[in-house]
Amino acid sequence: MLKLFSKRKNQKIEEEVAAIQSGNEDARDSLLDAYKPFIKKAVSKVCRRYVTESDDEFSIGLIAFNHAIDQYSVEKGSSFLTFANVIIQRRVIDYIRKENKMTMVSIDEEETEEQSQSSILTTVSMKEFERQNETEARRLEIVSLTSLLREFDLSFQDLVEQTPKHIDARQNAIQVANTLSNDPELLQQLLLQKKIPVKELTEKVDVSRKTIERNRKYIIGITLVLSGEFPLLKEYMKEVVEQ
């Protein structure tokens, strides 16, 4: 019953987002106000402290949530709240990094030894903070992708295990996924039918039908990454291809 309620709630949010994108600005104000607790929670998780509406970080989160409303598309696959959470946390992390750099630049060149040590500690702490938040951001992307893969009867583990071992095979599979993710009609078929439109795809790539079918799981997974909000996984994918 709880899962059913949650699903209906998410559907209602996505209907409201669609209405806003169609020009209903009153609905935008209502949604922003209703989800302030959600925004505070997302921002507080990044800052590792309780954030109030008077904090600059909350304002960044609110702007990010508003941006998410404009940028969200059901074709991306993930729920709106999952999408918004990723956008909020990424924007707040960027803001904190920028603020830290400005603080470091403003330190006087003739600072005392104590100030210098404090500066070093600040830099070390910030690097650790960035490392922890990148780890958390990657975890969120994996959770979002795992949820999306489930709709195709796939798992994140399938994506890992089905990665072609040879670099040429990986490049060919990613070439196919890149073509699929950049073709609106083919991508729409994939998302609606939950399977690769092989016949149409072979007309646009120099890869055999047999190769596409053999790497089906990997191609679907990479296509979902390329067409979604997964910047860290995209970067990781580039590293895998080059190995």
pLDDT of residue 65: 95
- Tokens in use for 235? 């970067």
Determine, yes or no, domain membership for 117. Answer: no
Determine, yes or no, domain membership for 189. Answer: yes
Q: Which CATH number does the domain housing residue 25 bear?
A: 1.10.1740.10
pLDDT of residue 104: 43
pLDDT band at 11 (very low <50, low <70, confident <90, very high): low
Determine, yes or no, domain membership for 58. Answer: yes
pLDDT band at 111 (very low <50, low <70, confident <90, very high): very low
My answer on whether 20 and 95 are in the same domain is yes
Q: Which of 18-27, 34-43, 123-132, 180-189 has the lowest mean pLDDT?
A: 123-132
pLDDT of residue 156: 80
Determine, yes or no, domain membership for 92. Answer: yes
Determine, yes or no, domain membership for 89. Answer: yes
Residues spanned by the domain of 181: 156-242
My answer on whether 82 and 160 are in the same domain is no
pLDDT of residue 4: 35
My answer on whether 19 and 80 are in the same domain is yes
Structural domain count, the chain: 2
> Which of 42, 77, 103 marks a domain boundary?
103
> Which of 71, 88, 103 marks a domain boundary?
103
Buried-state track 12-48, b at ≥16 Cβ within 10 A, e below 16: ebbebbbebeeeeeebbeebeeebeeebbebbbbbbe
Determine, yes or no, domain membership for 201. Answer: yes
Determine, yes or no, domain membership for 139. Answer: no
My answer on whether 16 and 99 are in the same domain is yes
